[in-house]
Amino acid sequence: MAWLYNLIYVAGGLALFLFGVQESSAFFKSNFGGEFRDKIGRFTSGKYRSFLFGVLLSAITQSSTIATSFAVGFIDAGMLSFAGSIYVMMGASLGGTFVSFLLSLRLFDYAPLLFALGFFLSKVRVRCIWLAAGLTRCLALIFLGMLVIGMGTGPMFENEEFRRAVTEFASNPLATGLASFIGAGVLQSSSAIMALGITLAASGVLPASSALPLALGAHIGSTTMVLLAGLGGRLSAKRLGIATFFYKLLGGLLFIPFVPWVNGLMSSVGLPIAGRLVYGQLMIALFNMAVFLPFTAALSTFSIRLISGEGELSQPKYLDDGMISVPFIAVMLLSREMARLSNYIEAYLQMLLEPQQRDRRLFERLPEDIDELSEACQEYCYKLHIPADNPELKRRFSSISHTMSVMRMMSRSICGGLRELLSSEEVRCVLEKELGEERWRRWAKLARRMMRTSLRAFVIGEKALVSRAVSLEAEMNQMSGQIRHDLNEVAYDRQVSRAIRMISLMQSFLGMSKILAEDEETEPPKMTVLNSCGELREME
């Protein structure tokens, strides 16, 4: 029964350790808001700043995942190039070693005191003290996890038979490295493996020759969780996940031939085994960075080419629920997604008015995709809560939310009654017969031109385009009014009634597009263009 209790202590301590890391990330995302998060967004303007940002954020949150998720948000918001996000990832990899350094200081016995300090200071109503107390409490959870792990492993290693078995296994550097690699992948935390390694070192069962392989195995093993997390995300997340995977995997493999030399160096310095683990992990991270630093652009290009931009049109490309707690970025992401939606609406209207230009597969799926994407944008808009201490951001969000409501109405119109009427051969025949084919083409051409001008004005934010959209609307209203008048002069029947309704719906629809053009408060995102294959490509 004693063995069972010891295993429970080890499992419980490991869970507490991982819970502390998780809580550190969650506390940062939910409490470091407003102006602070706006500043860190602007801090990434440059590769060296991006690298430092990754180091600091990974060290503070004790998780490189938070730093990389911010990097993805910055990419999609247009604040950071993909190559720049790789610098953030490199910095996050280096900053992750900070946790191991703290664990090597052997402060576990003070974990209850540290937790009590964090708890009681959290009652203080001074914000900076409250924030510091929250981070202290999270760090204390990690230390408590280590303390409980030690309470479980201590009695286990007092058994000579068990101690001899563990020592024999750990004496094989290859087996230790492989176990570390698998453990990091299963637990999805290299820090947890380093914590167990430090516990083994403190118990005297980890040979010096196996310290570096353990750190190396944890480093390479962490690529599995990064890759899986990235492949389940958006396009930028997938590309950064691939880049991180190859960065850590190749960097770790290239480090293997240097293991004997590094072991000899640490032996000559006289580092204890726990110190070899910590400094070994740091050296691996620095070596990895030095190897890939000259090839950052190549790694960026490789990841972009490997993961193409194809996918479901209805799936948001930029919206990220993880960035909702960062309104400064979330508003920019929503703006870019709305520009993408406007591109789909324009492409579909073009196909409706020009049947000969239709791509059948794309034409059939666009209505559903437009409706789903517009709904996703509106739902994201509902989730956003702008802090009261940021009036500029509140003003921008107010403008975007109004624009989103208009775009949602446009989506419903073009996917509903307007689509039905524009797709009707009977309605088209009536218009061509009663108005003449040339007059119908001039009306359709004017409608396309106004739609294109209005949406370009919305995306680019150029005042000349806004003025042009206003003048085109006046011309469109005049022509549409005359067409309705002429249709009322002919024999009235069901198809004529449908033709008049189509002209009126189109006039209303284009009026909504003009409202988008006049909304100059929305920060113009990067223009997007839908090609004939249904793929989205970006234009500077």
pLDDT of amino acid 47: 73
Question: From CA 381, how far away is CA 373, in angstroms rounded?
Answer: 12
Beta-bridged to residue 536, according to DSSP, are 530
pLDDT in tens, 323-358: 777 787 788 888 888 888 888 888 888 888 888 777
pLDDT of amino acid 397: 86
Structure tokens at 428: 């088209």
Task: Tell me which of 99-108, 231-240, 245-254 is least confident.
Answer: 231-240
Given a cut of 70, is residue 76 above it in pLDDT? no
What are the Cα distances from residue 376, in Å, to 237, 311, 439, 519?
19, 16, 39, 21
What mean pLDDT do residues 480-491 have? 84
pLDDT of amino acid 30: 67
Task: Tell me which of 7-11, 70-74, 86-90, 167-171 is least confident.
Answer: 70-74
pLDDT of amino acid 83: 78
3-class secondary-structure state, position 164: helix
| C-beta pairs of 399-406 under 8 Å, 24+ apart in sequence | 399/519, 399/521, 399/522, 400/331, 400/334, 400/335, 400/338, 400/521, 400/522, 402/519, 403/338, 403/458, 403/515, 403/516, 403/519, 403/522, 404/334, 404/338, 404/377, 404/378, 405/378, 406/512, 406/515, 406/516
pLDDT in tens, 262-277: 988 888 888 888 888 8
Return all residues near 58 (Cβ < 8 A) that are at least 6 apart. Answer: 64, 66, 67, 91, 92, 93, 94, 95, 96, 98
Please give the single-letter amino acid code of residue 222: S
What mean pLDDT do residues 235-255 have? 85
pLDDT in tens, 96-116: 788 778 777 777 778 888 888
Task: Tell me which of 198-212, 291-305, 394-408, 511-525 is least confident.
Answer: 511-525
pLDDT of amino acid 37: 53
Given a cut of 50, is residue 528 above it in pLDDT? no
CB-based contact 57:70 (threshold 8 Å): yes
pLDDT of amino acid 359: 78
Sign of CA dihedral 86, 88, 93, 94: positive
What pLDDT band is residue 524 in, cutting at 50, 70 and 90? very low
Question: From CA 91, how far away is CA 84, in angstroms rounded?
Answer: 11
CB-based contact 183:199 (threshold 8 Å): no
Question: From CA 359, how far away is CA 532, in angstroms rounded?
Answer: 7
Q: Burial level of 447, CB count in 10 A (0-12/13-18/19+)? A: buried
What pLDDT band is residue 526 in, cutting at 50, 70 and 90? very low
pLDDT in tens, 365-387: 888 888 888 888 888 888 888 87
Nearest to 466 by CA among 442, 445, 478, 450: 450
CB-based contact 384:331 (threshold 8 Å): yes
Rounded mean pLDDT of the chain?
A: 80
Given a cut of 80, is residue 423 above it in pLDDT? yes
Region of residue 530 (phi > 0: left; psi between -120 and 50: alpha; otherwise: beta): beta
pLDDT in tens, 450-469: 888 888 888 777 778 888 88
Furthest CA-CA distance within the chain: 105
**Buried residues in 280-298 as b, exposed as e (16+ CB within 10 A):** bbbbbbebbbeebeeebee
pLDDT of amino acid 153: 78
pLDDT of amino acid 527: 39
What mean pLDDT do residues 283-295 have? 90
CB-based contact 91:67 (threshold 8 Å): yes
pLDDT in tens, 127-150: 788 888 888 888 888 888 888 887
**Buried residues in 8-46 as b, exposed as e (16+ CB within 10 A):** ebbeebbebbbebbbbbbebbbeebbbeebbebbeebee
What pLDDT band is residue 254 in, cutting at 50, 70 and 90? very high
